[in-house]
Amino acid sequence: MNYTVKKKIRGGVFEIPEIIADKHLKFASGDQIKVLLYVLRHTEKNVNAHAVAKFLKMDENDVEDCLQYWVLTNILEDEELASKESAPQKEKAEKPAEPVKFVPGQNKEPETVKSKETVEYTKPTQAEIAARLDESAEIRSLFSDLQSKLGKTIGYDGQATIICLYDHFGLPAQVIFMLVDYCVSIGKTGYSYIEKAGGSWAEQEIDTVEKAAKKIDSLNKVNKFWNKFAISQGLPNGKPTANQVKYISRWLDELKMSFDMICLAYEETLERTGKISLSYTDKILSNWAESGLKTPDDVERAAKDRAAAAKKPAGNPDASYNLDKVKSKDVSGKLTYERKRKQ
């Protein structure tokens, strides 16, 4: 079935740049398109987020994010930003030269930089983000997919975070999407959390879909364990901290310890030290693993064996009394005591 615009309404039209339909229609969200249509319809006057939000019955902050998207893609112009950028060049010349920094969007780092650990990261400007969106179809597609996943328009902070993950930390687009998807699944949608998690993934060289899937599987296993463990021990049932995740991952993946074994080690830690100490619990579990103890029954048997060994007399076992030999002796005779003579 084909569609066309009715002739009777073709007289009341306004311009829509071709680039909107050709380049942005498949990437922009529905809210972003609605906001842009309002702005294009009212080009004769200055448009602000408040007026758009009132007309479209949207949250003003969401409208502001939508407007920023079109600013970053060079469709709209932020008058305040434009006035700053058009300031006299004299002011810029008077500023002292800044040290060389890694600029998002550049494929190569400065030659003086040896590794990403020494690179000073600076948040990209709106102009830099716009440039990256313009030159990279992969980033544009990633932005669109993430907006659908997050269920909201990505504003400047979110865009800067994604550019950081892509350009600075070097994570592929698919890995970034998997990272954000995991963060959404645990209720952590703050961009500072996502950026920190991305930095951790980069340090661990989680740079492929396979590695990301394995990491997420491990994290889900830790979260599931923690929920069950917190309930059993009467602990607050929140998300595990980074330190807790580190230890629990080791106990589950490296030491292959069961839930019951970890609970037993935790209880022994409290009994011996009177406090929660993951490092102490880790030592207990490591010793059990080295000794081949895999179940609580194994631990109980080992404890009984140690207790029995501690009770066993030291020295020659033959030195103990032999009842059979005692019985064979003639003890019916009269006992005599011979006094020693003085010399």
pLDDT digits (tens, 9 = 90+) for 96-153: 444 434 444 444 333 333 344 445 678 889 889 999 989 999 999 999 999 888 888 8
Q: What is the pTM of this model?
A: 0.59
Q: Who's near 178: CB < 8 A, 6+ residues apart?
A: 209, 212, 213, 216
Domain finish residue from 160, 189, 207: 207
Tell me the range of 95-109, 136-150, 303-317, 321-335 where mean pLDDT is highest: 136-150
Number of helices (H), then strands (E), belonging to the chain: the values are 17, 0
| DSSP-based three-state secondary structure for 4 | coil
Whether residue 293 sits in one domain with residue 219: yes
Instruction: Indicate whether 3 belongs to any domain.
Output: no
Whether residue 173 sits in one domain with residue 112: yes
> To 10 degrees, the CA torsion angle through 16, 17, 19, 21?
20
Number of domains in the chain: 3
Domain finish residue from 84, 105, 131: 84
* pLDDT of the residue at 206: 95
Instruction: Indicate whether 334 belongs to any domain.
Output: no
Instruction: Indicate whether 160 belongs to any domain.
Output: yes
Whether residue 147 sits in one domain with residue 108: yes
Which residue range forms the structural domain that includes residue 185? 97-207
Instruction: Indicate whether 336 belongs to any domain.
Output: no
Residue 239 sits at φ, ψ, to 5 deg, of: -80, 145
pLDDT digits (tens, 9 = 90+) for 28-75: 778 888 988 988 888 777 788 888 888 998 888 788 878 877 876 778
Instruction: Indicate whether 331 belongs to any domain.
Output: no
Instruction: Indicate whether 118 belongs to any domain.
Output: yes
Question: What is the distance of C-alpha 329 from the center of its chain?
Answer: 80
Instruction: Indicate whether 176 belongs to any domain.
Output: yes
Instruction: Indicate whether 115 belongs to any domain.
Output: yes
Whether residue 112 sits in one domain with residue 47: no
Whether residue 277 sits in one domain with residue 251: yes
